[in-house]
Amino acid sequence: MKISIVIPAHNEEKYIGRCLASINEQVATNDLQVETIVVLNRCTDKTEDVAKSHGATVVSNDSKNLSEIRNTGVSHANTEWVITIDADSWMSKGVLAEIHKHTRQPNALGGGIRIKPERLSPGIAVGYGIMLVPAFFLGLSFGMYWFKKSDFDAIGGFDEKRHIAEDVDFLRRLKTHGRKSGRRHTIISVESITTSCRKFDEFGDWHFVRIFGNPCKVIRAMHGGEREYLDKNWYEGKR
């Protein structure tokens, strides 16, 4: 199997090595050819050096728009199957093998995966619950996606009018696209990705609860409003 993995990275030298190592460990033990693409975003640290030391291809996009950043990475992919994952997340040992298994199905569309935080507390649990409960009933997921580049192109990639929640919107549109040809997406549950708790370390364990407690502000930010709010919580966080 040949696959490309796209990783957006803004000053991620403390985290991206763990992400890349979790990928490379699986490549060594499976019949896989993996192209890893790190999209440098306004990096002033050693993210590029860490990425290259793990064999990743490096490209750049300096916008404050995650959709544009992800689209840049996918545009450089040289394979039909693509995965996107955040730099501060890492894969469990069987993720790529599980994706490989699903892509061999004749009706494979793509999908997401189970996500878990690296630590738990009451605040973190409630915050994730606010996101994961509706996602479960809607058949959506967060954190990592796998899809065909041809389907990505057909639905216009990540919506560049969206500055946050672009990934959930992408999977929703991918599902709708797949139904037209009788294909279904898959949320992988037997494997997972783990994501860092750096936002909770910076803003407190009730951070997600505070954010989603003001849905109107989130919606305005999603469409590019509330620039200071976007920068503080998504684009200019401490690294």
Q: Which amino acid is at 36?
A: T
Rg (CA), the chain: 17
- Distance, in Å, from the CA atom of 165 to the CA atom of 233, rounded to the nearest integer, reads 13
Q: Which amino acid is at 58?
A: V
- Whole-angstrom CA distances from 116 to 70, 206, 231 are 22, 16, 24
Q: Encode pLDDT of 180-198 as tens digits.
A: 999 999 999 999 999 999 9
Per-residue pLDDT, 140:
86
Per-residue pLDDT, 113:
96
- Placement of tokens 């019949």 in the chain: 31
Per-residue pLDDT, 138:
81
**Average pLDDT score, the chain:** 94
Q: Encode pLDDT of 26-43 as tens digits.
A: 987 777 899 999 999 999
Q: Other C-beta atoms within 10 Å of 141: how many?
A: 25
Mean predicted confidence (pLDDT) in 199-207:
96
- Output the DSSP codes for 194-222: EE--HHHHHH-TTHHHHHHT-HHHHHHHH
Q: Encode pLDDT of 142-165 as tens digits.
A: 899 999 999 999 999 999 999 999
pLDDT over threshold 80, residue 120: yes
Per-residue pLDDT, 133:
84
Per-residue pLDDT, 42:
97
What is the band of 135 on the pLDDT scale with cuts at 50, 70, 90?
A: confident
- Whole-angstrom CA distances from 171 to 41, 60, 119, 149, 232 are 23, 24, 26, 13, 26
- DSSP code, position 11: S
Q: CB within 8 A of 173, min separation 6: which ones?
A: 155, 159
Domains of the chain in sequence order: 2-235 (3.90.550.10)
Per-residue pLDDT, 137:
79
Mean predicted confidence (pLDDT) in 202-207:
96
Q: Answer yes or no: are the C-beta atoms of 38 and 72 closer than 8 Å.
A: no
Q: Answer yes or no: are the C-beta atoms of 33 and 75 closer than 8 Å.
A: no
Backbone angles phi, psi at 235, to 5 degrees: -110, -15
**Which residues are bridge partners to 85 per DSSP?**
144
